[in-house]
Chain A
């Protein structure tokens, strides 16, 4: 039996105490096309960064486990090592230099040099580039990916689809290429180009090159891969030949989770009750989470969950409504009127508040005190906590009093209202964010990824807190999350977003399979005008 081309054994990785990969095993045979699927945050990128020796891995404490190429154990400490071992990678982000020609990009750091007197004396680096031979090689590589353009064109200004093929050509030009990693290669391609790519992949696999194909597009991976590995939360939850896989099976593996669904009294809602929030034809331009025509009604007093696969726009909804990303459409709040989009102030004045998924970047002032973090948004947008002398001065006493109350009510574990937020645990930081939102006394609270980056013990506390806010204070909560289990644990109903639109709304007790299918776009339950 031939040794596998690639074997990754028991790979584990931690980022600052957060375990992102747990004993992952992956095996790819020579000439096999292996699909790797999983949600964002499942660990796919980290796994590839490890395989390709990216510096970010080394700089954050390295990893555990071993890697074997063609049966031999190897150390990959830099992209250079990876190149030497015959591993090539087309990254998700563009690694092309727009200011150089296609040939120069294909030959990057592997340029062919003409020897001359100086280079013989002082080293290869001083030899002049041999563009003749470089062009020939580039031409050959471009032909292999069936890209019919002049190899001396500058990359700048080329259509985006071409760039992907040039990157692949670059990897192909490496004679020693044995394993090609493609990270979301079809994300930017048209249907036709994606077809061509799939043909090219099959051709390469026949030539004996192994391909590791990472993607969100389940139908594509089923068409081209020989075997599929499914990652979830840093663990391998499924490994199967593609002949045995279907979209439902894959979707279920990607999102499903065995968890106790606490028996919670679900409220019923009258079909024609006036909604507290009406969204019509919302478009949001948030890079990576685009919303393209979402319409949805939210009932007063409910906890509405918003789920869906990464990149399909669920995160963009709250961000767009709260004015953080460019948006257009119609949003109406009961007892207020139409909310002006692209204006955070307008959203805040209408009684909406937002606990962002970007806790550290947008949700908190990490180097300030707890009390300031809690008060500052209300201070700046609604003028709370101010005393008027000649001009508006901050009222430190009222800020302090309010912070103490919040710390007590939300049980924020800290050394006092003066503690710097950066020092708090993830769970307590999240509570500060919630306190900050509550200080605005909102009628509608948007919460995105409430338990991301929080350890297991604290997750339940945060979710219980949200439930309490809803039940005791009557706050309408709209919760966006990639974890179906937590949506099911406290929501009244769950809306699923696919390709920037509402795909359907499911009751909390719908099956994993139904959720999986709807998230993969295979099940549509949009009834006329109900939502």
Chain B
């Protein structure tokens, strides 16, 4: 493709300017059809929602800040050939357990936040390790395993929170427990630690023509930047190379002496750790935890976001993660109101958003499966060509 472009540009003097632009535009559109489609959807939704620009921008920035980490955590398992890791739900649970501890110890502010983040790591390592072992037993079916594991782990999580908390696991702060019995309350208040990261460094930007400024939580974005750099770095290391090799062909990796099972587990552990940290960041912005609900949709939303950004089951980049987060959450914000203004009811917008979330994942998965089949057939034909005389 690159060669074609070069040929084109060298003969540009002979071509009509508009013709040349048209060709490149068409090619660009075809390659990036998914994010372009959703971009258009967002623009339409944004217009019809009637929301004022600074409000919209504030919301988008806030959501990007608190969600990007989670979406980026999906990248490494894709690299290592395990597809979309729906099991990041377990990472989110690690983060939430960490908060249970720090709220129990009545910690606050940046210290509280940092402790929570650090505490989430060993838990995430444990959960990630178990997930990795499970994935190694279900090679080829990692995605459905991750989906079901999410539900299963949620059941265990509920068991722990409803029956072990305040029971086997001592909780000192009575307001955390369900009044009159054991088990965590539906909502855990973490106001003492709210905005611990966000407020470290906040910039207010004024938009001409509007009264309210847009506030940007710089520290959080710096953390996201650090993650992006970290991800880039990992990919360029020997470990990253092992991920890529295992992701391309496990048999070749094995024959080359790589411990395939171990590499896969490491990939999942990394992903789970990042998801744990991501959930800690997410919750510090919200200020409270929906004990039985905050983590449930984490997998679905992150996967939908990265797919909307143009990633696939086989390839995912940081850019796609960020773009997807932007588009997905914009859609999140504008759909209910757009639905209300277009059709007369906010619920339509709600349902439409849910449909888009699931639909995007379904379509991406179907496309991936279909492409895999085509590739298998191509390889079989190639092998047939070779072995014939």
In Å, the complex CA distance between A100 and B247 comes to 11
Shortest distance in angstroms between B335's beta carbon and chain A's nearest beta carbon? 38
Partner of B236, one of A55, A98, A99, A128: A128
B389 touches A129 (CB 8 A): no
Q: What chain B residues lie within 8 Å of A109 (beta carbons)?
A: 242, 245, 253, 256-258
Interface bits A263-303 vs B (CB < 8 Å: 1, else 0)? 00000000000000000000001011010100000000000
Known: A108-B245, A160-B386, A187-B386. A126 touches B237 (CB 8 A): yes
B389 touches A500 (CB 8 A): yes
Known: A95-B256, A108-B256. A287 touches B387 (CB 8 A): yes
Known: A188-B386, A287-B380. A126 touches B245 (CB 8 A): no
B239 touches A126 (CB 8 A): yes
Interface bits A69-83 vs B (CB < 8 Å: 1, else 0)? 000000000111001
Partner of A129, one of B241, B249, B382, B387: B241
In Å, the complex CA distance between A97 and B254 comes to 12
In chain A, residues 117-162, which have Cβ atoms closer than 8 Å to a Cβ of chain B? 119, 124-129, 160
Q: What chain B residues lie within 8 Å of A126 (beta carbons)?
A: 234, 237-239
In Å, the complex CA distance between A111 and B241 comes to 9
Q: Is B208 an interface residue (CB 8 A)?
A: no
Q: Is A113 an interface residue (CB 8 A)?
A: yes
Interface bits B350-389 vs A (CB < 8 Å: 1, else 0)? 0000000000000000000000000000001011111111
Partner of B384, one of A93, A96, A287, A312: A287
Interface bits B235-274 vs A (CB < 8 Å: 1, else 0)? 0111101101100110111111110000000000000000
Shortest distance in angstroms between B386's beta carbon and chain A's nearest beta carbon? 5
Interface size on A, residues (CB 8 A): 38
Interface bits A41-67 vs B (CB < 8 Å: 1, else 0)? 000000000000011000000000000
Known: A127-B238, A129-B238, A290-B389. A79 touches B245 (CB 8 A): no
Q: Is A512 an interface residue (CB 8 A)?
A: no
Partner of B249, one of A97, A124, A290: A97
Shortest distance in angstroms between A375's beta carbon and chain B's nearest beta carbon? 32
Shortest distance in angstroms between A169's beta carbon and chain B's nearest beta carbon? 14
In Å, the complex CA distance between A99 and B386 comes to 19
Q: Is A308 an interface residue (CB 8 A)?
A: no
Shortest distance in angstroms between B381's beta carbon and chain A's nearest beta carbon? 9
Closest to B388 in A: A290
Q: Is A499 an interface residue (CB 8 A)?
A: yes
In Å, the complex CA distance between A54 and B252 comes to 11
Shortest distance in angstroms between B374's beta carbon and chain A's nearest beta carbon? 15
A78 touches B257 (CB 8 A): yes
Shortest distance in angstroms between B385's beta carbon and chain A's nearest beta carbon? 8
A91 touches B255 (CB 8 A): yes
Q: What chain B residues lie within 8 Å of A292 (beta carbons)?
A: 388-389
Q: Is A104 an interface residue (CB 8 A)?
A: yes
A125 touches B384 (CB 8 A): no
The number of chain B residues touching the other chain, given as a range, is 20 to 34
Q: What chain A residues lie within 8 Å of B245 (beta carbons)?
A: 97, 100, 108-109
B257 touches A125 (CB 8 A): no
Partner of A125, one of B237, B252, B253, B255: B237
Shortest distance in angstroms between A70's beta carbon and chain B's nearest beta carbon? 21
Closest to B382 in A: A160
Shortest distance in angstroms between A504's beta carbon and chain B's nearest beta carbon? 18
In Å, the complex CA distance between A194 and B250 comes to 30
Closest to B315 in A: A99
In Å, the complex CA distance between A97 and B247 comes to 10
In Å, the complex CA distance between A263 and B149 comes to 68
Q: Is A427 an interface residue (CB 8 A)?
A: no
Shortest distance in angstroms between A361's beta carbon and chain B's nearest beta carbon? 15
Known: A100-B248, A311-B387, A499-B389. A128 touches B256 (CB 8 A): no
In Å, the complex CA distance between A83 and B255 comes to 10
Partner of A128, one of B237, B255, B385: B237
Q: What chain B residues lie within 8 Å of A288 (beta carbons)?
A: 384, 387-388
B249 touches A113 (CB 8 A): no
Q: What chain B residues lie within 8 Å of A79 (beta carbons)?
A: 254-257
Closest to A290 in B: B388
Partner of B238, one of A113, A160, A287, A290: A113
In Å, the complex CA distance between A185 and B239 comes to 31
Closest to A287 in B: B384
Partner of B239, one of A78, A83, A125, A188: A125
In chain B, residues 10-39, which have Cβ atoms closer than 8 Å to a Cβ of chain A? none
B238 touches A111 (CB 8 A): yes
Q: What chain A residues lie within 8 Å of B256 (beta carbons)?
A: 79, 95, 108-109
A129 touches B236 (CB 8 A): yes
In Å, the complex CA distance between A109 and B263 comes to 12
Q: What chain B residues lie within 8 Å of A108 (beta carbons)?
A: 245, 252, 256
Shortest distance in angstroms between A26's beta carbon and chain B's nearest beta carbon? 21
In Å, the complex CA distance between A127 and B241 comes to 11
Partner of A97, one of B233, B236, B238, B248: B248
Q: What chain A residues lie within 8 Å of B382 (beta carbons)?
A: 160
Q: What chain A residues lie within 8 Å of B248 (beta carbons)?
A: 97-100
B389 touches A311 (CB 8 A): yes
Partner of B252, one of A55, A95, A285: A95
Q: What chain B residues lie within 8 Å of A78 (beta carbons)?
A: 257
A95 touches B255 (CB 8 A): yes
Q: What chain B residues lie within 8 Å of A128 (beta carbons)?
A: 233, 236-237
In Å, the complex CA distance between A508 and B237 comes to 65
Closest to A122 in B: B239
In Å, the complex CA distance between A264 and B233 comes to 76
Partner of B237, one of A80, A95, A129, A290: A129
Closest to B233 in A: A128
Shortest distance in angstroms between B229's beta carbon and chain A's nearest beta carbon? 12
Closest to A126 in B: B237
Q: What chain B residues lie within 8 Å of A99 (beta carbons)?
A: 244, 248
Q: What chain A residues lie within 8 Å of B389 (beta carbons)?
A: 290, 292, 311-312, 499-500
Shortest distance in angstroms between B300's beta carbon and chain A's nearest beta carbon? 29
Shortest distance in angstroms between B46's beta carbon and chain A's nearest beta carbon? 38
Q: What chain B residues lie within 8 Å of A290 (beta carbons)?
A: 384, 387-389
Closest to B234 in A: A126
B383 touches A287 (CB 8 A): yes
Shortest distance in angstroms between A101's beta carbon and chain B's nearest beta carbon? 11
Partner of A80, one of B234, B236, B257: B257
Closest to A89 in B: B255
Q: What chain A residues lie within 8 Å of B388 (beta carbons)?
A: 285, 287-288, 290, 292, 500
Interface centre among A96, A99, A109 (most CB of B within 10 A): A109
Known: A97-B248, A287-B383. A124 touches B255 (CB 8 A): no
Given contacts A97-B249, A125-B237, A292-B388, 12 further A-B contacts (CB under 8 A): A79-B256, A79-B257, A80-B257, A96-B252, A109-B245, A113-B237, A127-B237, A285-B388, A287-B387, A288-B384, A290-B387, A290-B388
Query: What would be 6 A-B contacts, judged by CB atoms less than 8 Å apart?
Result: A100-B245, A109-B245, A109-B256, A128-B236, A287-B384, A287-B388
Please give the residue numbers on chain B whose beta carbons come within 8 Å of chain A beta carbons, in ascending order. 233-234, 236-239, 241-242, 244-245, 248-249, 251-258, 380, 382-389
3 closest cross-chain pairs (CB), A and B: A80-B257, A290-B388, A287-B384
